[in-house]
A and B are shown apart, each in its own frame.
Chain A
Amino acid sequence: MTRIVLAIYFAIVTGFLLLPLIFLVPISLTDSQFLEFPPKSLSLRWYREFFTDQSWLDATLVSLKIGIGATILSLLLGTLASIALVRADFRAKGVLTALFIAPLIIPSVVLALALYIIFLRWRLVSNIYALTLAHALIAMPYVVMIVSGSLRRFDMTIERAARILGASPVRAFVHTALPFLTPAMFASSILAFFASFDELIITLFISGGLQTLPVRIWNDLSLKLDPTVPAVAVMLTLVSIVGMSIGEVIRRRNELRYQTHSVPEA
C-alpha cells in the first residue's frame, strides 16, 4: 500500500519537474510561426533562426562573456572566502558567513535596486565589467556554500603531511586540498555560471543598453513570441546536462580516491 502511494507521489513530483521540458522540446521543433502544441510538422527551422540572427548571437556572446567572467571571479573569491570561513578562527565568522550567503536570500528586486542606485551614481550602468561584477556577487553564494562544505570534510593530516615533507602553506594547499576540492569547485562553477547566464531581474535594472540572452528573450516576449525562444531554452538545457554530467564523473573519480577503506592485505 505504502509502496503504491510512494510510487504515485514520485510520479507526480518528477512529472511536475519534467513537464515544462516535455512541452518545450516539441514546441521548439515546430515548423509554424507560432508556439503550438503539439506541432503540426517538425523542423529545425527555429534552431537555424537562432544561429543566423545576429542579435541572438550577440546576446549569447554577451551572456557567455559575463557568465565566464562571473564564474571565474566568484570561484576565485568564493574559494578564498571558504578557506577563511572554514579554517580561520575569528569573532565575526558567523556574521561574515551569513553575508556571503546573503545574495541568495535577499530578494532579487531589492539587490537589483541597490545595485542600480550605486551603478547610477558611479556611472557603471551598461558597463559589461560592472555587470560581470554584479553577476559574480550573485554567483558567489553557490561557491561559498559548496566549497566550504567540501573543505570541512577534508582530512587536514594530508595537508600536514605535505607541510612536514617540505611544502610551504600555499604549495601544501595546492597539492592536497585543491585536488580534493576540484569536484566541489567544478559543481559550484556550473551553478555559478548558470546563476549568471540566466539572471534577468538584476540585469534588467543595470544592463542599460547591454543585451544578455535572458534580456533578449524577455524583449522578444514583449514584442513578438516566436519559437526561437523554446529552441534556445532546449539548447540551454542540453548544455547544462552536459556540464552536470562532467561534474558527476569528476566527483565519482575523486570519491574513489578518497575512500577510507583499503584493498585487503595480500
Chain B
Amino acid sequence: MEQVIANGLYLGAQYAMIALGLTLIFALMNVLNFAHGQMYVIGGFVTYTFYGQFEIPFIFALLASCATLAILGALIERFLFGPVIRRSSREESTMLLAAGIAFLLDAVILLVFGEKQRGVPKIVNGVFNWDFRIIMPYDRILICVIAILSIVAFISFMHFSKTGRALRALAQDRVAAELMGVNVKRYSMIGFALGAMLAGLVGGLLVTITGVNLGMGGPTSIKAFLMVMIGGAGVISGAIAGGFILGMLEAVGLAVLSQYGDITYLAIFIALMVFLAIRPQGLMGKPWG
C-alpha cells in the first residue's frame, strides 16, 4: 500500500503540473487548448535537444524549454487566438483553431524532432528503497519535489505579483478588469504565454523520467482535460486537486485491478461520468461558469 500511495503522489504532482497551464488558459480566455499536450511534447524535445544532445546543464535546458514555450504561446495568442476571439463570438471557433494548432504542432514535431522515442541521461542516479515497501528512484523524488515547488511558486505568483493579480482579475471578469484599467490584450498574451510555459516546464521535467515522443501530445491533453473536469474548469486549486485525485485513482486502480486487465481507466471514466452527472461544474468550479 505504501508503494501505491507513493506512486499516486508522484503521478498526482506531474498531472497537477500538466493541468495547471490548461486551466489557466481556459480561465483567462475561455479557450479549450487542445494543443496543450503538443506544447508539453515540444517542451520535452527542447530539453532533450539542449540537455541530451548539446549536453548543456539540465537547469538551463529546462529554462530553454520554458522560454521557447512562453514565446510560442505568446505568438499563438497574439496572431491566432487573439484575432479569432475578437472576430468571432462563437466558442467553437477557438476550439477548432486549437485542434488545428494541435495537428500543426504534431506535424512540426515530426519534421523537426523525428518519429523516435527520445530520452535523456538521468539527472540523479540511485533508488530509494525502504525495505521493499517503497521503491522510488531519486530522480522521481526530485522531479516530484520540483513539481510541488513549482506549483507553490505559481500560486504565489498569481496571488502576490501585480501580473498575477491582473490575470486573476481577467479570469474573474474580463469587462470589469478592463474597466479597472487592466490592459486586456497584453495580459491575455502574458497569461497564454504563462500557460504554455507551464506545459514546457512539465515537459522538460518529465523527459528525464518518461522520455518523449511525438505521439504523447493527444493523450496528455486528454488526461489534462480529465483533471480539469474533476477539479472544475478554470479554477487553479481545482486543477491541482484534479491532478492529485487522478494520480491517486490511477495508482490504486493499477494496483488493485491489474489482474483483471486494463480496466483502470474504464473504471475512472465511469466514476467521472457519474460524478459529473451529480456535479457538472467539478469539485471547485462554479455552476454559473
A and B interact: no
